[in-house]
Amino acid sequence: MAGTPFDQLSGDIWYDGTFVPWSEAKLHVLSHGLHYGSSVFEGERAYGGRIFKSEEHTERLLASARMLGFEIPYTAEQINAAKEETLARMNLTDAYIRPVAWRGSEMMGISAQHNTIHLAIATWEWPSYFKPEERLKGIRLDMAEYRRPAPATAPFKAKAAGLYMICTISKHAAEAKGYTDALMLDWRGQVAEATGANVFFVKDGKIHTPTPDCFLNGITRQTVIGLARDRGIEVVERVIMPEELPEFEQCFVTGTAAEVTPVSEIAGNTYQVGDIIKTLMQDYDAAVRPQTPALQAAAG
Ligand SMILES: Cc1ncc(COP(=O)(O)O)c(C=O)c1O
């Protein structure tokens, strides 16, 4: 069930350099970003008042815009400060942060060379995606109909709104069949990722994950690979074919929203929520939370 519609939440949204009341953070229907997908965004989380990997998200936002051929008219420092200000103004400590940049309305056609570039930053309370006990059961994935496009067909490193069209179609189809999400293959038929998260598998004590050569190399993915290696767990980035899915023992997905979430099934192949996943869930939780002296002392 959907809760309060997102345009009806309260508070303020940072919009082109100033704060506007939530209900007034609007754009015109003739915006290039809406018609032609010239829009890029980020999904970030704050834990205990600190935005996890804020600088990395800002760099990716600026890079995504450049891959779409536009320059966001704010520096990384200004964007980082604006995110902090938005969080403080909303009086939030555990929250989701959504910066979004798009081409405006001056030209309404394929070409939009001189359209104004807009940037907005909204934040809202968003505790854990799933309750811990529910997360430990694992989510169920179906196989997606659509595939991640080849690098020669789209700027795959951009977190661009247009690239999510096939994700929403795929997720809706999976949900209609009672699944939580869908696993997407790439254009070659290799395992790629879920619709909004990267995927990992465990077999014989080693972690296997697809090489991110045509999909987002998630910030959470990179964090979790580091955490696993810190634990001495081998992580192999390689080609994974769907025929291998029955052979894996554990599976999990990673993403800013999903954090580390176990997967219990992919289209009939079942997986255990094993020790490696539980360890990485705990390690990720510890990594994202600010280390106060009290917490450090408690951790011994
Ligand atoms: C398609 C897709 N892949 C992977 C990820 C994971 O990225 P990150 O860990 O940077 O949130 C996301 C989430 O942003 C995503 O939407």
Q: Is any atom of ligand 1 closer than 6 Å to the C-beta of 242? A: no
Neighbours of 59 (CB within 10 A): 16
Summarised one tens digit per residue, pLDDT across range 118-132 is 999 999 998 766 566
Summarised one tens digit per residue, pLDDT across range 238-295 is 999 999 999 999 999 999 999 999 999 999 999 999 999 999 999 999 999 977 655 5
Nearest to 87, CA basis, from 117, 54, 41: 54
Report CA(290)–ligand 1 centroid distance (Å).
Answer: 22
What pLDDT score was predicted for residue 3? 84
For 52, the domain range is 8-125
My answer on whether 191 and 137 are in the same domain is yes
Report the nearest atom of ligand 1 relative to the CA of 220.
Answer: 9
What pLDDT score was predicted for residue 135? 83
What pLDDT score was predicted for residue 266? 98
My answer on whether 165 and 30 are in the same domain is no
- Domain containing 230 — which CATH number? 3.20.10.10
Global confidence as pTM: 0.95
- Give the chain's domain count: 2
- Provide CB contacts within 8 A for 239, sequence distance 6+: 190, 210, 211
My answer on whether 258 and 143 are in the same domain is yes
Report the nearest atom of ligand 1 relative to the CA of 222.
Answer: 9
Q: Which residue has the CA at smallest separation from atom 16 of ligand 1?
A: 196
- Domain containing 88 — which CATH number? 3.30.470.10
Summarised one tens digit per residue, pLDDT across range 10-49 is 999 999 999 999 999 999 999 999 999 999 999 999 999 9
Nearest to 193, CA basis, from 227, 130, 152, 143: 143
